[in-house]
Structure 1
Amino acid sequence: ISINQIEETNRLFISPVMLSVVVEHIFLLVLVTLISVLQNAFFATKVEREGKEHHANTSAFERVSCANRNCMDSYPTFLAVLWCAGLCLNQAPAAFSGLIYLVARQKYFVGYMGQTSQSTPGYVFGKRVLSFLFLMCIVGIFNLLLVRYFGNDFKDTVETITTAASALLLIP
């Protein structure tokens, strides 16, 4: 096998059309992930700025630093359920829920900078969004198992329900 044959085989497997179809199915998830990266950079900048403006052992620095650590501790869980829900079920409600989670995380971070009790609403709201994304993952995986072993596909019905239910996340 020559190098040209290998390159031709790779071009056949990953055609531009195929690549655009794949990107179309994950575009919203990628967008939410990049926004979350920018938010992480914002949080890190706040911690760095607070450390430079005040001494690193002040209570304000401790609160900002703790809020950043707490947000970073839940970040891998957020990414896992976001992508699992988007890939196994539907990317639109998963991405919408992801944006709502980022708003809740921002509310948590800003609330923690004031007093730790002000961060509770953001924490509870973020926890609810993560639970919804986790439920989407479970339903998506269950539907894939139903298709595989029983031939029943309820994906359209479940997508309709999750799309409508994701709007309910806006209710406090």
Structure 2
Amino acid sequence: MELDVLENTFLLVLVTLLSVLQNVFFAQKVEQECKTHNARSFLRPGTPAFERVYCANRNCADAYPTFLAVFWCAGLCCSQAPAAFAGMMYLFVRQKYFVGYMGETSQSTPGYLFGKRIISFLFLMSMVGIFNYFLIEYYGSDYKDYIQTITKAASALLLIP
């Protein structure tokens, strides 16, 4: 693998691997809850605690492919550093959602809404990067430096709750 390609994707790969570790953690929580409450199968109803952990894991797994798609598109098409920052923020938010869902489902709402905002930001970054590609291809105008500056500044706005 060329060093140039590795430098342009290192942060994206790092965040992806951290998200995989988080998925393993969520799956272990489901397994632990299953063993603790003697649930025989994931298909049979168990205790309310098991149901909450299982549902939180399922919800996180359902949103994961969308996250990965917009995360990698934003990082490759627009800018790696803001996409990696937004990806790390999404992992923290997803953790907050999971832990909140294990308590009361109403505690997971802030994590869900914040995660939705981060996914929207990554989607917008992807669309701007693709639009810039078409500008380069058809008009010869490259605005990548301006776009990267704006996305770096805008990624800090993700910290506002």
TM-score, normalisation: structure 2: 0.95
2:27 paired residue among 33, 38, 44: 44
Cα distance, 1:59 vs structure 2: 0.3
Cα distance, 1:31 vs structure 2: 0.1
2:100 paired residue among 84, 107, 111: 111
Structure 1: which 4+ aligned runs deviate by more than 6 Å?
Answer: none
1:161 paired residue among 141, 150, 155: 150
Alignment correspondent of 1:71: 60
2:43 paired with 1:54: no
Greater RCO, 1 or 2 (C-alpha within 8 Å, sep 6+) = 2
- For 1:67-104, what per-residue CA distance to the aligned partner results, in whole angstroms no more than 9, with x for missing partners? 00000000000000000000001100000000000000
Structure 1: which 5+ residue stretches go unaligned? 1-15
Aligned-partner residue type, residue 46 of structure 1: K
2:24 paired with 1:35: no
Alignment correspondent of 2:109: 120
1:135 paired residue among 118, 124, 135: 124
Alignment correspondent of 2:140: 151
2:3 paired with 1:20: yes
Figure out how many residues of one structure are paired with residues of the other and give that number.
155
Structure 2: which 5+ residue stretches go unaligned? 40-45
Distance 1:21 1:161 in 2: 24
For the pair shown, the structure with the greater C-alpha radius of gyration is 1
Cα distance, 1:55 vs structure 2: 3.2
Distance 2:4 2:141 in 1: 25
Alignment correspondent of 2:76: 87
Distance 2:133 2:38 in 1: 54
SS across alignment from 1:55: coil
Distance 1:89 1:36 in 2: 21
Distance 2:72 2:134 in 1: 18
Distance 2:133 2:67 in 1: 22
SS across alignment from 2:141: coil
